[in-house]
Amino acid sequence: MGKEGFKEEYRLRVELFQKRLKEKELEGALIFQPADLFYLAGTSPEGHLFVPPEGEPRLLVYGEVERAQEEAVWNPVVPISSFKEIPLSLADWGFKGLKRLGTEMDIISLKLFSRYQALFPDCQWEDISPDLRTLRMVKSASELEAIRYSASQHAKVFQYIREHIRPGMTELEIAVEVETYARRLGHQGRVRFRGQEQGLPIGVVAAGPNGACGIGVPWTIGGRGLSGLYPMGASTRRWETGEPLLVDYAGVYGDYLVDQTRVYFAGQVDRILERAQAVAYEIACSLAEAARPGTTAGELYALAVKQARQAGLADYFMGWDRKAGFVGHGVGLELNEWPVLAPGQETVLEPGMVLAIEPKFVFPGQGAVGVEDTYLVTQEGAKPLTQG
The Cβ of residue 139 has, within 10 Å, a number of other Cβ atoms equal to 22
What average pLDDT does the segment 378-388 reach? 96
Residue 217 has pLDDT above 90, yes or no: no
- Confidence band (pLDDT; 50, 70, 90) for 197? low
Average pLDDT on 20-28 reads 98
Q: What secondary structure letter does DSSP report for 384?
A: E
- CATH 3.90.230.10 correct for 141-384: yes
Helix/strand/coil for 59:
strand
Beta strands of the chain (E only): which ranges? Answer: 29-31, 47-51, 58-61, 77-79, 100-103, 124-127, 203-207, 244-252, 257-265, 328-330, 337-341, 354-357, 360-363, 367-370, 373-378, 381-384
pLDDT above 90: residue 2: no
The neighbouring-strand residues paired with 250 are 259
Q: Which of 4-18, 137-151, 182-196, 207-221 has the lowest mean pLDDT?
A: 207-221
Instruction: Let me know: does 39 contact 132? Beta carbons within 8 Å.
Output: yes
**What's the pLDDT at 207?**
97
Q: State in words which class domain 3-135 has.
A: alpha beta
pLDDT of residue 219 exceeding 70: no
Q: Kind of pairing, strands 257-265 and 244-252?
A: antiparallel
pLDDT digits (tens, 9 = 90+) for 53-107: 999 999 999 988 999 999 999 988 999 999 999 999 999 999 999 999 999 999 9
Q: Quote the CA–CA distance of 150 and 331 in Å, as a whole number.
A: 12
- Residue 103: which residues within 8 A CB-CB, separation 6 or more? 29, 30, 31, 32, 113, 116, 125, 127, 128
pLDDT band at 200 (very low <50, low <70, confident <90, very high): confident
Residue 5 has pLDDT above 80, yes or no: no
Question: Checking DSSP bridges between strand 354-357 and strand 328-330, what pairing results, if any?
Answer: antiparallel
Neighbours of 28 (CB within 10 A): 21
The dihedral through the CA atoms of 89, 90, 94, 99 has a sign that is negative
Residue-wise pLDDT tens digits, 103-143: 999 999 999 999 999 999 999 999 999 999 999 999 999 99
Average pLDDT over residues 318-347: 95
pTM of the shown model = 0.95
**Helix (H/G/I), strand (E/B), else coil: 255:** coil
Around Cβ 300, how many Cβ atoms within 10 Å?
A: 26
- Mean pLDDT on 40-56: 96
Strands (E), 232-351: 244-252, 257-265, 328-330, 337-341
Sign of CA dihedral 32, 34, 39, 44: positive
- Which pLDDT band holds residue 222 (cuts at 50, 70, 90)? confident
Q: Is the pLDDT of residue 14 over 90?
A: yes
> Which amino acid type is present at position 81?
S
Dist CA 200 CA 320 (whole Å): 22
Give the domain ranges of the chain.
Answer: 3-135, 141-384
Of 89, 84, 22, 83, nearest to 47 by C-alpha is 83
Portion of the chain with pLDDT greater than 90, in percent: 89
- Kind of pairing between the strands at 203-207 and 124-127: unpaired
Residue type, 355: L
- According to DSSP, the residues that pair with 348 across neighbouring strands are 296
Do 141-384 and 3-135 fall under one CATH topology?
A: no
Q: Residue ranges of the alpha helices (H) in 165-218?
A: 171-184
